[in-house]
Amino acid sequence: MSTPIDDGGQAFPTHGNGMFGEPVTLRSGMTLRDWFAGKEQCPTAEEIGLSCAEALAGKHPTGEPDTNPIEWMQWDCEWCAKLRYMRADAMLKARGCAS
C-alpha cells in the first residue's frame, strides 16, 4: 500500500467565521501540490528522451504525430502531467526539509 501524498494544503486558503464566530480556514480549491505542478514547465519528449517519456506514460502511439495527432497529444499530455506532479512532490518534500 502506498503512502498518501502530502498535498501541502490549500494554495490560497480563505478564512471565515465558524458557527460561534471562531476563525476557520475553508478547504476548497487547488492544493499547493496542484499549484506547484501547474507552474512547472514541461520539456519536450525529445529533451527528456523518448525512453523517459515512455517510462512515465507507456509506449508511444503508433504512426507519426502528424498522421495520428490526437493520440500523440494525449500521450504527450499524460507523461507531461506525471512529470509535473513528480516535480511538485519533490518541491513539497524539499519544502518540508527546509523548515
pLDDT of residue 28: 64
Q: What is the pLDDT of residues 24-79, one digit of tens each?
A: 666 666 888 999 999 999 998 889 999 999 999 999 999 988 999 999 999 999 99
Q: How many C-beta atoms lie closer than 10 Å to residue 83's C-beta?
A: 19
What ranges in the chain are assigned the alpha helix state H?
32-39, 45-48, 50-57, 69-98
Rounded to two decimals, what is the model's pTM? 0.71
Backbone angles phi, psi at 75, to 5 degrees: -65, -45
